[in-house]
């Protein structure tokens, strides 16, 4: 009997607890270009939301675009999510451009804050270099990419019941919309000024076979892991410029001082990271060539009497190379003048006062050690011949030998050193 009563009480307490449990909503924030680390972050957050039975996952989005492969990975993850996913373009002033447009349209519910925009999803050439087969082949390739992107975004919009015609125009015509216009054209589902208002509007909405219970829900932030955050930083275009410069100087330092190891190791690591990033980013080969030219000019200035002219030229090459390093048609990957100009100045100063001084120092005459005795002149302190003698050089009295006898007081020239004995010869007297 008591067992039956306890069982009933446990069932009732479980039911009450279930009814009083506060709903939970996961939240992640994506800012900046879409890359591999972003895709990994979204994938982990979607899995966590499903494993912990969140009512939904909110992705707060503000991006100028990004890589096509990473965008596809995110879209596929959103379409297969076990919990409803809400993409919220926020805060005010944010944008879901290019890749961001694909991601927003792939959400179960798409929302925007006032004074935000969505669209301009026209793809750009990821790779940076023109086709070697000529302009016609390059244009054909771009047309294929554009047609693929248009078809892909149409299928995503149709899957979510959104405006397919506008989705296609966002790719074909780079169309963009404000939040209010996007809502009226059924591109998005909600306009909400803040997260609390968004959750209030989501409450009671049906997504598939689920009714959202989000009013007053506990917001559970899902931060980036250390690895994701580190790679997100590495994917910034400014970091690639710095890695390229570090790689160049590291390798120059190792080649000019073989065996130092530290410059070579640092330069090699930077080079590998730069090549890894450059394999998928929209790199412009002209920018790479200018950075290499800058390194050549900096080194050349150490061996030529140009009074810094080549260093100035190298600084200009760094500035132009940084600005041209990425395909300017992709707003997600570009280097600003505010970054490129200080980088060029600091690089030039480093070259002038560190690199140039170090390289020149290697070709200066030896100023210390036994080699400094060679060529010195001093009077013989005692007769010097093949059997020996004495000479006072560099503040010390040395044993000395000479094939030609040198009398005390006569000037001798040091020609060699064996052990602690100097080889000398008499200084030739000038004819009157």
Q: What is the pTM of this model?
A: 0.67
Q: Which of residues 402 and 143 earns the better pLDDT score?
A: 402
CB 325 within 8 A of CB 284: yes
CATH superfamily of the domain spanning 20-230: 2-enoyl-CoA Hydratase; Chain A, domain 1 (3.90.226.10)
Coil, strand or helix at 9 = helix
- Mapped onto helix, strand or coil, the DSSP state of residue 36 is helix
Cβ neighbours, 10 Å, residue 407 = 13
169 CA to centre of own chain: 32
Phi/psi for 321 (5° steps) reads -65, -40
CB-count burial class (<10 Å; 0-12, 13-18, 19+) for 90: buried
Q: pLDDT, tens digit, for every residue of 189-228? A: 999 999 999 999 999 999 988 999 998 899 999 999 988 8
pLDDT at 32 over 70: yes
CB atoms within 10 A of CB 430: 5
- Indicate the domain borders of the chain: 20-230, 236-361, 370-426
- Is 359's pLDDT higher than 60? no
pLDDT at position 127: 39
With respect to CATH, is domain 370-426 assigned 2.40.50.140? Answer: yes
CB 213 within 8 A of CB 55: yes
The residues with which 211 forms a beta bridge, in sequence order, are 206
241 versus 48: the higher-pLDDT residue is 48
Instruction: Give 83's DSSP letter.
Output: S
Is 220 or 141 the better-scoring residue by pLDDT?
220
Q: How confident is the model at residue 369 (pLDDT cuts 50, 70, 90)?
A: low
- pLDDT tens column, 73-100: 999 999 999 999 999 999 999 999 989 9
Confidence of residue 360 (pLDDT cuts 50, 70, 90): low
| Three-class SS state of 423 | strand
Q: What share of the chain is helix, strand, coil (3-state, %, to 5)?
A: 50, 20, 35
Confidence class for position 14, pLDDT limits 50, 70, 90 = very low
What are the Cα distances from residue 74, in Å, to 77, 177, 214, 380?
A: 5, 22, 24, 87
11 pLDDT higher than 70:
no
> Which of 52-66, 136-150, 412-426 has the highest average model confidence (pLDDT)?
52-66
Q: How far is CA 237 from the centre of its chain?
A: 5
Using the predicted structure, report yes or no on whether residue 314 has a pLDDT greater than 70. Answer: yes
> What's the rounded Cα separation, in Å, for the pair 350 and 327?
28
Query: Which residues are paired to 146 by β-bridges?
Result: none
């Amino acid at each position: 009997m008591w067992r039956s009563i306890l069982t009933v009480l446990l069932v009732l307490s479980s039911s009450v607890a279930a009814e009083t449990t506060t709903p939970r909503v996961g939240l992640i924030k994506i800012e900046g270009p879409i890359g591999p680390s972003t895709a990994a972050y979204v994938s982990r957050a979607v899995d966590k939301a499903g494993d912990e039975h969140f009512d939904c996952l909110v992705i707060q989005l503000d991006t100028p675009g990004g890589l096509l492969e990473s965008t596809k990975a995110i879209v596929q993850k959103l379409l297969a999510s076990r919990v409803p996913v809400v993409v919220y373009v926020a805060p005010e002033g944010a944008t879901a451009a290019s890749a961001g447009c694909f991601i927003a349209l792939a959400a179960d519910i798409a929302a925007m804050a006032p004074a935000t925009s969505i669209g301009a999803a026209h793809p750009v050439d990821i790779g940076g270099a023109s086709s070697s087969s000529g302009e016609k082949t390059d244009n054909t390739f771009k047309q294929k990419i554009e047609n693929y992107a248009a078809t892909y975004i149409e299928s995503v919009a149709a899957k979510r019941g959104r405006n397919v015609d506008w989705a296609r125009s966002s790719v074909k015509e780079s169309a963009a919309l404000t939040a209010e216009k996007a809502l009226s054209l059924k591109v998005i589902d909600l306009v909400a000024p803040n997260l609390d208002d968004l959750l209030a509007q989501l409450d009671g909405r049906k997504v598939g076979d689920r009714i959202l219970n989000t009013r007053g829900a506990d917001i559970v932030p899902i931060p980036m892991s250390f690895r994701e955050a580190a790679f997100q930083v590495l994917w910034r275009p400014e970091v690639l410029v710095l890695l390229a410069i570090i790689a160049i100087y590291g390798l120059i330092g190792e080649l000019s001082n073989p065996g130092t190891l530290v410059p070579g190791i640092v330069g090699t690591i930077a080079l590998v990271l730069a090549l890894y990033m450059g394999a998928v980013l929209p790199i412009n080969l002209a920018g790479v060539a200018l950075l290499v030219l800058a390194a050549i000019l900096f080194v050349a200035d150490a061996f030529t009497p140009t009074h810094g002219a080549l260093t100035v030229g190298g600084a200009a090459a760094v500035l132009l190379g940084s600005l041209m390093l990425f395909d300017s048609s992709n707003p997600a990957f570009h280097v600003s003048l505010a970054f490129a100009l200080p980088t060029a100045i600091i690089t030039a100063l480093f070259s002038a006062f560190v690199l140039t001084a170090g390289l020149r120092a290697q070709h200066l005459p030896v100023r210390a050690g036994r080699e400094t005795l060679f060529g010195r002149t001093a009077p013989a302190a005692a007769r010097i011949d093949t059997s020996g003698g004495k000479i006072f050089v560099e503040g010390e009295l040395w044993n000395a030998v000479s094939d030609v006898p040198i009398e005390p007081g006569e000037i001798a020239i040091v020609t060699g050193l064996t052990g602690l004995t100097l080889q000398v010869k008499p200084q030739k007297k000038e004819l009157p």
